[in-house]
Structure 1
Amino acid sequence: MTVGQMHPGFTWIQWAKEQGSFWHIVSRQGNFSIPFGPKMLHNEHSVNGIKSDYVSIESFISSSYLGMLTGVLIIVFLCQKLTRWKEDLMELKALNWIKSLTISDVHRFFFVVGMFLEFALLSPIFVPIIYGFKCYRAVIAAILKNRHGSHFKGLLEGADAMWAIERDNSRGMINIMAYIEETVEQQSQKEHSTSAELLLVLRKRISSRLMNSYQPHPKMFWKRNLELGYYYWSDQSTLTVEDYIRYLDHIALENDAQYIDERKLRACMNDINNRHLPDNHSSTWEILVGRQPLRDDVRKVVRFPILFRVHHSLGDGVALLRLLLEGIADKEVPSRWKRLSTFKVMNIEYILKEASIQPILKKNAFQKLLKAIPNTQALYAWKRKNLAILKAIVTAPSYFYEVSHREVDNNCIHASELVNQKVVSWIHEEETSNTHWVNVIKRTKQLVSGARFSDTFLTALSSSLQKYFIRKQGDIPKNITVVLPTRVQPELPQLKLHNCFSVAMQTLPVRSGIQLDDPNRVDTLRGHLEQIKQHSDNLRSSSDYLINYWIMTSVAGLFPDTILRKILTSAHSTLAISNLPGPHQKPRINGHELKNVIFFIPNIGKTAVGLTLLTYGGKLQLGILADRAVIQNEEDAHSILLETINEIELMGQILQDA
């Protein structure tokens, strides 16, 4: 059928004027009994008495076309609405933010801006000084390179140099202790002692995997030297694998006893943990294998202790734990990192397999171009990163001022000066026990939205310290300052021995523990957790970690030893707390599981107490290392850990009752 001319005076524009809203028109598109659009004449008909017939819209516009047109119009409409809603939301957020401002917020803003402007005015003095030391450091490196030739392996960088700054009363050592376990029956049937077998296996593995012609981590075998005011690495070490891996000190026993207990082992650890490393403390690690086991009469097993002593300049806790698990284990550990192992480089089958799939992995130019184009997520990450850097630059001067004027803690475990005597203790959550401390902490943090694992642990520690202060000094400090280290970059697929972490100070309120007879005990626990979380949120929303990381990596290595010691001396904090998530699956050494891994962090500056927690195999392992200037015996140190565990168990009981 052909379409004729429109009725005179009745056009599309006139028809549109007589219609209702847009949505009324759209709602009629499925009902073609009602004419849609201006009525039109067929060539064979006429109007006003003459044969006529109105032709509806479906005769020249299909339903699919109308549907597509409607969809486009709806999308345009929604886009306009969404844009408007977004603008309204931003205006509302800005309005709410302005309403939430207090006088202290305004004062804080002007203080930060004022300090930044003051620093900008003084920058012509600071910048030449920094670049002067940078040039001086380059000259020292050139001199040492000329003196030692190919044996010179470079100056210590950033955080490595910071940990090289140590004193006799607080050396930068990380001590990692674990056990190898076997049954009493197995031990009695052996011709050779388990400790001798373990010592031989460790020496062979370190020698073949890490000390051969190809060294995946040569930094392990370099010497740390000090010359012309700067620390540097050299490969002139004459140590052998026998020097690095030795027997643990013999522990004196009464009445020719064969087994030691934890009390004896703690006393031995007190003497060892701050001791020099081999080669007059210029090496970076050693492994000590215990010859005298501990005996568990209930389970009828014996445990041989192994101590891994590593200098912090070699790497941070995560890197060192990975080195331990991947370097000496029977095979690659399917741990929480589960990354590409560096030892696959030495596996010819792995190399051939990678070579066979390499052509498949090659991408054409178009795919590379698409990959190079940043997506929305990448743009958001870039924006967030640069805003964080800008915020750190602006707030850095005010941060330095506040740290220098921060009030020093005053309590019985804060030292004015450290002594060269340490005390250690630990608590293991045994795999055979019915306790579930990790799960209790995870459940408790759900009481407060956004709370973290560390917030819950700090809540329990706060109550433990309150009881300790009551016993030791009578009065209770309102707050103490704790140092919290954290990694600032994710783990790399291949293990790299470096210090990639930062530290910051957080206020920890000291509060009383939970009482089971308190009818509002759940609300009390929630209130304590919210208070801790607020301090944690304040720290994480600040630029403290980023500023300290910049100081540790970019500034610390510029200055010589004498200046760096004065810059890094801190007397504000009471204790340091390190939380390290370990692997779920336990590695094996010579067929034996490595059990109850625990580590101890060093005392730095005047921070005399270091507390650690490690989740290993789904169980919680706690350790404490303190200077005897503030904690004189193992019982006092152990009581802090024990009361912390008691608070965690009370949390579990309260949640179960609720």
Structure 2
Amino acid sequence: MYNPRLYLNCSVSKVSLSENASDGTNMVIRQQFTTESNNDGLGTITAFTAIIAGILINAILHYSFCKSSSVVLKRRFLNTKTVSRILALLVLVISLPLVILFLVLALCYKLLCLVIIRRRDKHFVGFLDSFDVFWSLEDDATINVIGVIESDSPEKLVNNIKVKLQNIAVANNGIDKIFYRRNEEYGFYYWRKYSLVDVSQYVEVIDLPDKSELTVVDLEDVMDEISNQSLPYENEGLFKIFVTKQRMGNQDDERGEYGIIFVIHHSVGDGVALLEFLCETLADRHETHPVNMFAVPEARINDTPAALMDMMLKLCEIPLCFVDTILRKPDENSLHGPSLLGKKSFRWTESDENLLAMVKEIKDNVDNLNFSDILATALSSGLHNYFTKTMAHVPEDLAVIVPVRFPKSSSINPNLLMKNDFSVTILDLPIKDKRNLNEIKSRCDNLRKSADPLSNHYFIKLVSILPRQILQPLLNSTVATMVFSNMPGPDQLSICGGNVLKELVFFVPHKGNTGLDVTALCYGGVLRLAASADRALIPDPEHLSFILDGMVCEIKRLHHQYARK
């Protein structure tokens, strides 16, 4: 997911990047040509050879350009980056037969392992899909969702959750993937399924005996401890739910507010899929409708000459995206570089300001502005605020990994919610100068038109046939400084018999030496910002507030500039 240093692409499909701005969604890819296949085997490798056409077409166009351009333009065009691109393309063309042969041998090895494992393990279900494998390569790859929930007592809430989970375990309708266990043999990860599920392994009341009443800071500290704990069944399990025994205030009320934490391994599904799981399974029945906001209508196939030409241009761009990924240099700043410790700090905004309404009003007053453009501008100012207050060197740009979700296909079982449907791309966010809405909007627009997310998506699918020993260094994140994820959430919902979730934030896992993430979640009509960082990068947890406070201040400034005219 995080900008692999070397990848091969097999897609010739045309997509367009768009965004559901009213919901605050991340950039979403709308497929206009049906290309995705659930088969990661021979079909994927055969389709991979289509990249040759893109490389050759790109070389021809480049040669024609040099022939027809003036001497001045030639000198400007033939700079160091262009020469590096040409050399990398030549190396790709020369090595392509060897790469294809290597992938075919890897596929044969994987099929052999499949036969052996299937015979030896009676609980075998199947190999993990490509993006599930991607997240199994990390020791800590959990999505952490933290909330405040109203209930009669934590014990009663835990019992109700167990009943709900037991119903899921016996339903066998696709959602029961949540109870699978991960195992690895011969370098390949696979799912195991057991006929009996002990739901008590997945839900726990956490007691802080030295605390009579919890604050937000206490909950952040609890999250720090929980994030280092193993998941059930010696980390083969996929999730766990914690409910605090102590209340979050209102001691005199009959019903109290308690902290609730969902720790879910990313191999189960992406953030949107996991929120869907929360709404569809744990939520009370009358609260399940909000998950429809995550679905993106599938675009119709358009075989017009213009669409076909656009598809060819995308094909030509794919090799260049591949080359640019190889040539990209790692970020150099105080938030990137050292090896991660695995210990994290967590912070989120608790402001009563209606940030969501502000962002929507800004968007309504600026033509062709997307929701994520505003949040990216706020993030730019937040990071500038951090570097300034910590007296660190302020970089010109900072590489930000942006998850891009693919829409559900009509061919996929609608009951199967647990799925990783995403790709990634990198946004070069200005930090030192050009920190204005128009500049960042322009960069985001260029990114939406790029073939980079599509290239990364099919690259990860392609290389998933390789064993773990090869994938780990291949997919290690060494270039970008941070991850930024923005998701819409449901309206305020209740789970397991009228227990209302009042607040909700989430944190995405770190990968490689990318140890900072900032997230935005719209839940119950409230926009909350959250951040987590490895302590190798930010030893003082309070410094995370510099980023979040800077984002809030920038949203207020933009609102004053554009919405109050």
TM-score category (smaller protein) = 0.7 to 0.9
Alignment pair present for 1:497 and 2:497: no
Give the distance between the partners of 2:373 and 2:242, measured in 1 at CA. 35
Give the aligned partner of residue 7 of structure 2: none
User: Distance in 2 between the 1:102 and 1:450 partners?
Assistant: 33
Aligned: 1:411 with 2:333: yes
Offset of residue 323 of structure 1: 0.4
**Helix, strand or coil: the match of 1:573?**
coil
What CA distance in whole angstroms lies between the structure 1 residues aligned with 2:305 and 2:269?
Answer: 30
Matched, 1:483 2:456: no
What are the within-5 Å matches in structure 2 for residues 66-465 of structure 1? 116=89, 118-149=91-122, 151-167=123-139, 171-181=140-150, 194-208=153-167, 210-212=168-170, 214-236=172-194, 239-248=197-206, 250-253=207-210, 258-295=212-249, 302-338=256-292, 378-380=300-302, 390-428=312-350, 433=352, 435-446=353-364, 448-465=366-383
Q: How far apart are the structure 1 equivalents of 2:441 and 2:107?
A: 40
| Deviating more after overlay: 486-495 vs 591-600 | 486-495
Letter in 2 for 1:204: V
For 1:136 and 1:241, how far apart are their aligned partners in 2? 36
Which deviates more, 619-628 or 235-244? 235-244
> By how many angstroms is 1:339 displaced?
8.6
Cα deviation 1:229-282 (Å, max 9, x = unaligned): 11111124865011111112x2242xxx52111111111111112321011110
Question: What displacement does 1:446 show?
Answer: 4.6
Helix, strand or coil at the partner of 1:537: helix
Letter in 2 for 1:269: M
What does residue 528 of structure 2 align with?
Answer: 621
Asked if the contact 2:333–2:393 (Cα under 8 Å) also holds between the matched residues in 1, the reply is no
1:259 partner letter? E
Unaligned runs of 5+ in 2: 1-68
Task: From 481, 485, 509, give the equivalent of 1:602.
Answer: 509
- Give the 3-state SS of the residue equivalent to 1:476 in structure 2: coil
Aligned-residue offset at 1:179: 1.5
Q: Is the 8 A contact 2:365 2:563 kept in 1?
A: no
For the residue of structure 2 that corresponds to 1:288, the secondary structure is strand
Say if 1:413 and 1:609, in contact at 8 Å, map to a contact too.
yes
Tell me how far apart the structure 2 counterparts of residues 623 and 534 of structure 1 sit (CA, whole Å).
25
Measure, in 1, the Cα distance between the counterparts of 2:256 and 2:171.
38
Deviation readout 1:105-163 (Å, 9 max, x if unpaired): 787899867755653343221111111111111111111011114x2111112000010
Q: CA deviation at 1:203?
A: 0.6
Shift of 1:592: 2.5
The alpha-carbon deviation at position 226 of structure 1 amounts to: 1.0
Distance 1:288 1:262 in 2: 16
Q: Distance in 2 between matches of 1:290 and 1:122?
A: 56
- Give the Cα separation in 1 of the matches to 2:398 and 2:374: 17
CA distance in 1, matches of 2:264, 2:293: 23
1:544 is aligned to 2:452: yes
Instruction: State the 1:227 CA deviation.
Output: 0.7
1:56-77 deviations in whole A, cap 9, x for unaligned? xxxxxxxxxxxxxxxxxxxxxx
* Aligned mates of 1:438, 1:213 — CA distance in 2: 38
C-alpha distance in 2 between matches for 1:584 and 1:213? 26
Q: Quick one: distance in 2 between partners of 1:553 and 1:581? A: 26
Deviations 1:534-584 (CA, angstroms, capped at 9, x unpaired): 2112211111100110012232x1111111011011211111001111123
Instruction: Say whether the 8 Å CA contact 1:428–1:596 is kept in structure 2.
Output: no
Check 1:114–1:332 CA distance in 2 against 1; reply closer, same or farther (3 A cut): farther
Paired-residue identity, %: 28
Separation in 2, partners of 1:300, 1:571? 51
Q: Is the 8 A contact 1:322 1:495 kept in 2?
A: no
Q: Is the alpha carbon distance of 1:136 and 1:648 closer, same or farther for their aligned partners in structure 2, counting shifts above 3 Å? A: same
Correspondent of 2:538 among 606, 625, 631: 631
Indicate conservation of the 8 Å contact 1:455/1:529, yes or no: yes
Distance 2:254 2:171 in 1: 44
2: distance between equivalents of 1:442 and 1:543? 28
| Partners of 2:118 and 2:124 within 8 A in 1 | yes
Q: CA deviation at 1:334?
A: 4.7
Q: Return the alpha-carbon distance in structure 2 between the equivalents of residues 340 and 395 of structure 1.
A: 29
RMSD over aligned CA atoms reads 3.0
Residues 297 and 214 of structure 1, relative CA distance in 2, 3 Å threshold: closer
* Range that drifts further, 624-633 or 230-239: 230-239
Structure 1 stretches (4+) deviating beyond 6 angstroms? Answer: 105-114, 297-301, 381-386
Larger radius of gyration: 1
Q: Is the 8 A contact 1:222 1:237 kept in 2?
A: no
**Alignment partners' CA distance in 1, 2:282 and 2:92:** 50
Q: Is the 8 A contact 1:427 1:623 kept in 2?
A: yes
Quick check: 1:612–1:623 contact (8 Å CA) kept in 2?
yes
Contact 1:428-1:620 at 8 Å conserved across structures: no
In the alignment of these two chains, the number of paired residues is 488
